[in-house]
Amino acid sequence: MRVLVTGGAGFIGSHLVDALLARGHEVIALDNLSSGLKVNLEDASKNPRFRLIEADLKESAPLSRHLEGVAVVYHFAANPEVRIGEIDPKVHFEENLVSSFSLLEGMRRSQNAKRIIFASTSTVYGEPTVMPTPEEYGPLIPISTYGASKLGCEALISSYAYTFGMRGLILRYGNVVGARAQHGIIVDLTKKLVSRRGSLEILGDGTQKKSYLQIADCITATLLAAEDFLKSDRRVDVYNVSSFDQVEVRLIAEIVANEMGAPNVPLRFTGGVDGGRGWMGDVKIMQLSIEKLSKLGWKPIYNSAEAISLSARQLVHRELKE
């Protein structure tokens, strides 16, 4: 079938494009290239079933023609940098909420594009008192503008599904890592180590503990959850997508340093803000329950430490190549 992937030139979006093409679908990637890269679609661009549209979702006028014949929309377009919310919260409002509203309006007017798969985030939970955190946990009290904007998108999707006869699958991702990533702790540490300035600076007090999911595991989970949802009659559903364990920031730094051949580099923690967080709005401890997704027969190949190690090797290769 014909599918549209918003944010298709981004980190997760481009891997999803590759996987959908491998499954025989006709894929349209829509991206404004503000953070996505054409090089991520180098292989996809050789496929006659692929097309890249450079457009901004906030400009709703051309959306209707891009949705012609589209059976499913994978909505992965967003500003993925959580930290920017502390400096300019308008970015998350416009790039996440306004863009999602514009897309949903286009789908509402469309004759056929009535099913949406949405890339949400673990940050919608805020700082839950239950861990691993299940999908039914509440109330959801995000502590960052990024988490708030994603939660708002979830609410919009649910409301459009129930008001306008659409259907929506919400995927709450943990920290996804791997090749093509442009932001996040592993990217930051890798760049700092490449520059080699005597010690490795790490934001926070080093006790932050979170889950990390390799991109390959992320894509298999996404496709499985989407396949199960699309063949059902459920109007709205939610899945956590993450690994089954956690690692501390200190261990992440050690793994990355080891992969870069600098196992003895001194670690220098900034001490952080607000109780040792890396930045305001940083969720210090996170672990999602993946029990619901596991019932579909999925489990990650890599644990968090293995995912970080593989990602570090991939990113080191990219940094040295550049």
- Please give the positions annotated as active site: 146
Q: How far apart are the first and last CA of the chain?
A: 37
Q: Which two tokens stand for residue 304?
A: 């968090």
CA-based torsion, 93, 124, 70, 42: positive or negative: positive
Cα atoms in the Cβ-side hemisphere of radius 13 Å centred on 18: 17
| Cα gap 189→268, rounded to integer Å | 12
Maximum Cα–Cα distance for the chain, whole Å?
60
Token match 């306008």: residue?
Answer: 164
Q: Which two tokens stand for residue 71?
A: 């059976």
| Cα gap 299→293, rounded to integer Å | 8
Taking alpha carbons only, the member of 153, 134, 173, 152 closest to residue 73 is 153
Q: Which two tokens stand for residue 85?
A: 């919310």
Which residues, 6+ apart, have CB-to-CB distance to 294 below 8 Å? Answer: none
| Cα gap 53→14, rounded to integer Å | 13
Interhelix angle 185-195/304-321, rounded to 10 degrees, is 40
